[in-house]
Structure 1
Amino acid sequence: MSATDNPIIVDIPFGALTGLGDGDLADYGAQVAQNVLAAVASGSVRAILPQKLYVQSKDMGNRLIVVRVDDFRVDPDWDPSHIAFVYELIEAGYPVTDGIIPAPQAGLLSRDEVSKVYLRAMSADRRYDIAAHGWNHTPSELLGNSFRKDFDLIRGGISEVYRSTGRFPVSYIPPNDAFDKNTLDALTATGTPLFSADKGDLRRFAGMDERGILHVSNTVKFEKSWSGDIPYRTKDQVLDLIGSDNDAVFCIHPRTANSPEKKALILDTLAELSAQRGTRLVNFAEYHAAVSPAMLNVERIRSARADVSVRDWKKPDQYPLDDGTLKADAELAWRYFDWGSKNFNGMVPATSWIESGKQAGYPFATMWDVGTQILATLSAQRLGIIDQPRFETIIMRIVAFLKESNFRYAGGKLPHTERPLGSQGGQREGFDSADTGRLLVALKILDQHTAGAFPIFDLVSGWSFKPVLKGGEMHIVSKNGRVSSAHSNSYAGYAGRGYSLWGESIKPVFDGEDPSRSMDAAIAALAEIQRRGRIATEPHVTEEIELGGSQHGRLMADILYAAQIKRYRETGTLTCASECAMAGPPFFTYQGYQLTDHGGQFVVDTLKTSSKARADKKADKLRLVSTKGAYLWYAARPGDYSEKLIALVREQAKMPGLGFSAGVSERTGKLIEVTDVNTNGIVLESIAYILGGRKPFLLSEGA
């Protein structure tokens, strides 16, 4: 079939596929292809172009013409005539999509009160629709940019339109039809479903690309060119270009319709189009609703991206390095580490609480905890909370601690699952691949930050990871030597990067393509994420501030963040789910979001109970707004919701002299009486990330 540019469409009844396995489906598909090719070769079937098929497939044979009016706010002097022209179209009963320029030379839309009054008033009419039309509306503003620059321009423009109108635009129009691959990748990240840019052919006529963006590019306008006095086509020429059966976009520029004759020409053309049998005039919102089938998972992904990237997002303030509020938060978090190292021989206990009027601590630390202590110490040094000699003393003690004892397996040495911080016994024996992966991330960041000043390479080289990375998969080893794979849990992506940073060969955790550039890959990833179990703020957002994030991790984080926002909108309950220490039994819970076939639910994994009702009741009592989660979201997803989270924990979760509580009870609104190494460490990391210009801790080569 690759020999022809035209697709061959075969309608297969669903019943024909019932009971077929993957191998059977492949055979079935091959047989269909062979039969179709034979039929084409024999002349018994005829070819049909995609747009023709599209027209014939629609109810009542309707073809749709989108009425698009461009360039609102291109020049303040032209705005009154633009507004008057759009009013005239709406009054005549025509639908309109109004292309809004967010930040022309005249200034930001959000500061243009006159335009905002017009847009909000028009939005009450269902015939009126809006589109983001670039950023400044300069000729090539979206050409030749990095993905990051395009994303900032596109996200900024859509956000201006959304916050000024209260409506998320369904469509995006690049200025001068100028765009490239990075433009489309960046638009995908905003969750915008429809793109309108004329490329001079019908290849993007009305098709959904691999990213899940619907392209509608069959654009016809009266302007022959943009030179001189802007010569116009005749009505017959425009109608001929639109044709009699194709869908099309009729693009109108009120600025060039600068005479009564030209306005009458446009109105006459619209009247003739609307009178044609089988033709319906629509705006882009109506067009998208008419031609896009219901796709639950596609909409779930798009909606999450739109919520996170646009609806909730706010451009963060550029905090100065001496920011008082954040610095005070960091200093309080460091109190935990200062107390811990003084009372536990230079190391820091996993958790702490007040007992008989004194601060007590759980005298053990996992390798995850040790990784957190390393990055907390590095953050404190970067923030100026501790000086260089103090930093070096703490790091040398941690390195010595890691060298003191190892778990023996397959003739080699590995970091322990858990280590005591004193002479007491009772620690958990074995090897945990996820916790060690986190430790390896921290050690790599430390080694880069200090330019190899500490014997980190020698330390890591002394561990033998090959036996626990069989087939490139991460494994857990129990104290009696039983081995089990840990490659398919929700922590594997982050943990695996720790091993890769030190040259270990790791099998990809996700087999699929990049979900940010392929909607098929994103849907496949969604199914895999569901199978892997609950997702939580850690480690996916931690990965972003430490390593720059991965596309699968970012997708998980966005799905979770959007679900938290949705729960807050529906219930008024601030939601921030992550693993956390508890003040009493069960002492530790894994709180997260479990995707389901029809949505998802927030779950609390704890001790097993005899009934689901009892488990749910217990979970409701244990639900927390995670303090470290709030700071992570505030760092990585600056916006309305993360500001609410940070305000709550800053107000309710402080434990003077101790650090921050693990979280605030959803039920009571009060902090729980326990603090821990990971809560305070992540608070420090998040603040160092923010005040460091929101750059990942591990710098890429050349950064």
Structure 2
Amino acid sequence: MSFKENLVRGRSQLIFIAGLLSASVVILAVDDVSESLRAAPAGTPSAQAPAVMAKADSVSEKIAAIEPMKLAALRPLTEKEMTQAKIAWRYFQNNTDKNTLLVNAANNYPSTTIWDTGSYLIGLISAYRLGIIEDVEFHGRLNGALVSLDTMELFEGRLPNKAYDVRTLKMSTYANKPDPRGLGWSALDVAHFLVPMSYIMRNYPEHAKDVRKLLTKWDLAALVQEGDMFGTAVRDDKTVFRQEGRVGYEQYGAKAMMLFGLDAVDAAKAERNLTFQMVGDVAVPVDDRKLGNGSASFATSEPYVLDGLDFGFDSTSLRLASNVYRAQEQRYRDTGQFTAVSEGHISVKPYFTYSTVWGGGDPWAVMRLDGSRMDELRSISTKAAFGWDALFGTDYTKALVASLDDLADPEKGWMEGRFEADGSPNGSLSCNTNAIILASLAYKQFGPLMRHQMGS
């Protein structure tokens, strides 16, 4: 066998080691970036940035031309913020199955995904760090969830299915009907779940063995191929693989996978598939690839908010996030309409949409993954508002969060948002939104989740 062939064969082993090392470097590096920018002088975005970007020849130069936002200073929560966090925790008190100790993805709807389970665990960790729950409840919930996860069915015996019945742990359709064949797995969903798994292993050693036992059963290596993330779907009863992730989501997922030594190094590079679309006078980062249905990719708040809350920004993700945020603040300044867009549940059909800064070829599009448009359902996202406020803490984000005060139900949790068209509440309640609110409030006091993992 030639030297070259040996190198190719050894790629996965070399990448496993390199991934572990680079993951540690990434976390330490984003910590340095975060702290230096917290200490940076306050200021408004440079008005020259769009002109500088227009002159830049390469994508890397365009990214470098974006002035990074200053990060909010860390501080203890106010009494009002602690109340906000307790209201978010109420969702989980109401929606935990008493037998499996897993949580409904939406209020009173006994279905979940591995993404939502990851969100629940981050919410649980956040509630514990904030002192909302005590040791007994935290460790009891965590132990019960890990035991249940260890016993649930896997798609083709390899990785978690895209949906489960919370009560039975059986694979289901998105309509929560039993589905013995399964829908396939989502690489991005699993990646999000790996974030709390990594945190738990490093901070709660009494649960580390259960995490290792669980993940040993999962074929994590199947999530990546030649540096890219791949999920599966079932078509004509056959399992088909397809690349997952677009700019923002892809880099967030890659960071999570690299924590476990997976070869997601290429997926971590936003520059590979990055273009910019002008929304007003802000250059918004958008993936230059199409979605699976052939429609244009989109940019929205969630992956950037999660990247900042969970990992802390690196120099590239901070610049990209800064312009995704700036476009939303600028829309408010231009129109007087509070703007915070993200994916999420809505209280009317089709019940889940992607509200974007740019999508489907237009600014402020509201769409589904099949490319269909429903801009009349644009809403102000509660989780995006809390996330941006935790990360940047501007006068605008403070006013934005305050404008949503009436969406807090002390008996149920935080609603998803408010419809722009008539100002009525988007009354859906979800695991993901209430988890992000908890994570955002924990960030205000402690900083990025994974920085704490490194011993700070």
Length-normalised TM-score, structure 1:
0.51
Paired AA for residue 384 in structure 1: G
Paired with 2:155 and 2:412, the residues of 1 have a C-alpha distance of 36
Query: 8 Å contact 2:202–2:453 — kept in the other structure?
Result: no
Correspondence for 2:382 among 627, 633, 639: 627
Determine the structure 1 residue equivalent to 2:41: 155
Name the structure 1 match of 2:89: 334
Q: Counterparts of 2:313 and 2:54 in 1: how far apart (Å)?
A: 31
Q: Is the 8 A contact 2:33 2:313 kept in 1?
A: no
Does the alignment pair 1:349 with 2:75?
no
**Residue from 482, 489, 492 that aligns with 2:250:** 492
Partner of 1:696: 449
Which structure has the bigger radius of gyration? Answer: 1
Equivalent position of 2:227 in the other structure? 472
- Tell me the distance in 2 between the aligned counterparts of 1:294 and 1:432: 37
Q: Match for residue 189 of structure 2?
A: 435
Q: 1:425 aligns with which of 158, 177, 189?
A: 177
Higher relative contact order, chain-length normalized (CA < 8 Å, sep 6+): 2
**Residue 356 of structure 2 is aligned to residue 602 of structure 1:** no
- Cα 1:154–1:336 shift into 2, 3 Å: closer
Pairing 1:448–2:191 present: no
Provide the rounded CA distance (Å) in 2 between the counterparts of 1:507 and 1:153. 30
Counterparts of 2:39 and 2:220 in 1: how far apart (Å)? 44
Residues 527 and 662 (structure 1 numbering): CA distance in 2 closer, same or farther, change over 3 Å? closer
Please name the residue that 1:558 is paired with.
322
Displacement of 1:554:
2.4
In the alignment, the residues of structure 2 paired with residue 536 and residue 293 of structure 1 have an alpha-carbon distance, to the nearest angstrom, of: 21
1:701 to 1:383, Cα distance in 2 relative to 1, 3 A: closer
> Matched residues in 1 for 2:409 and 2:231: separation?
35
Distance apart, 1:377 and its partner CA: 0.8
Q: What's 1:373 paired with?
A: 120
Residue identity in the other structure for 2:329: I
1:147 to 1:556, Cα distance in 2 relative to 1, 3 A? closer
Q: TM-score under structure 2 normalisation?
A: 0.77
Q: Quick check: 1:646 aligned with 2:401?
A: yes
The 8 Å contact of residues 33 and 314 in structure 2, kept in 1 or not, is answered as no
1:419 shift after superposition: 1.1
Q: 2:427, 2:454 → 1: CA distance?
A: 43
Q: Partners in 1 of 2:303 and 2:162 — Cα distance?
A: 18
What is the SS of the residue equivalent to 2:239? Answer: coil
- Take 2:411 and 2:34, find their aligned partners in 1: how far apart are those partners? 41
Quote the offset at 1:644 in angstroms. Answer: 1.5
1:320 counterpart residue number: 76
Q: Counterparts of 2:267 and 2:222 in 1: how far apart (Å)?
A: 18
Q: CA deviation at 1:603?
A: 1.3
Alignment-mate amino acid for residue 563 of structure 1: A
Unaligned runs of 5+ in 2: 1-31, 169-175, 277-282, 291-296
Secondary structure of the 1:660 match is strand
Note if contact 2:285-2:320 (Cα within 8 Å) is conserved in structure 1.
no
CA distance 1:673–1:426, change in 2 (3 Å): farther
Q: Secondary structure at the match of 1:585?
A: coil
Describe the shift of the 1:670–1:506 C-alpha distance in structure 2 as closer, same or farther (beyond 3 A).
Answer: same
Specify which of 302, 309, 318 is matched with residue 545 of structure 1: 309
Letter in 1 for 2:304: H
User: What one-letter code is carried by the residue in structure 2 that aligns with 1:605?
Assistant: M
Question: Using the alignment, how far apart are the partners of 2:40 and 2:315 within structure 1?
Answer: 19
Matched residue SS, 2:452 = coil
Specify the SS of the correspondent of 1:583. Answer: coil
Deviation at 1:399, TM superposition (A): 0.7
1:576 is matched with: 340
SS at match of 2:355: strand
Q: How does 1:75-86 map to 2 (within 5 A)?
A: none
**2:356 counterpart SS class:** strand
Distance 1:551 1:528 in 2: 17
Structure 2 equivalent of residue 662 of structure 1: 416
Deviation at 1:526, TM superposition (A): 7.0
CA distance change for structure 1 residues 485 and 456 in 2, over 3 Å: closer, same or farther? same
Distance 1:485 1:550 in 2: 24
User: Matched residues in 2 for 1:687 and 1:545: separation?
Assistant: 10
CA distance in 2, matches of 1:293, 1:574: 27
Displacement of 1:502 in angstroms is 1.1
Aligned to 1:687: 441
Question: What is the deviation of 1:436?
Answer: 0.5
Contact 1:372 1:678 in 2 (8 A): yes
What is the Cα deviation at residue 466 of structure 1? 2.2
The aligned length equals 396
Report the Cα offset of residue 657 of structure 1: 0.4
Q: Which residue of 2 aligns with 1:501?
A: 259
Q: Secondary structure at the match of 1:661?
A: strand
| Sequence identity (%) | 24
In structure 2, distance between residues paired with 1:573 and 1:628: 17
Question: CA 1:336/1:302 → structure 2, altered by over 3 Å: closer, same or farther?
Answer: same
> CA separation of 1:541/1:435 partners in 2, compared to 1, >3 Å: closer, same or farther?
same
Contact 1:191/1:303 (CA < 8 Å) preserved in 2? no
Question: Contact 2:63 / 2:320 at 8 angstroms: preserved in 1?
Answer: no
Q: Which residue number corresponds to residue 18 of structure 2?
A: none
Q: How far does residue 429 in structure 1 lie from its aligned partner after superposition? A: 2.4
- Which secondary structure state, in structure 2, belongs to the residue aligned with residue 349 of structure 1? coil
Classify the secondary structure of the residue corresponding to 1:568: helix
What whole-Å deviation, never above 9, does each CA across 1:570-608 have from its counterpart, x for those lacking one? 1111110111101121010111122799xx611111386
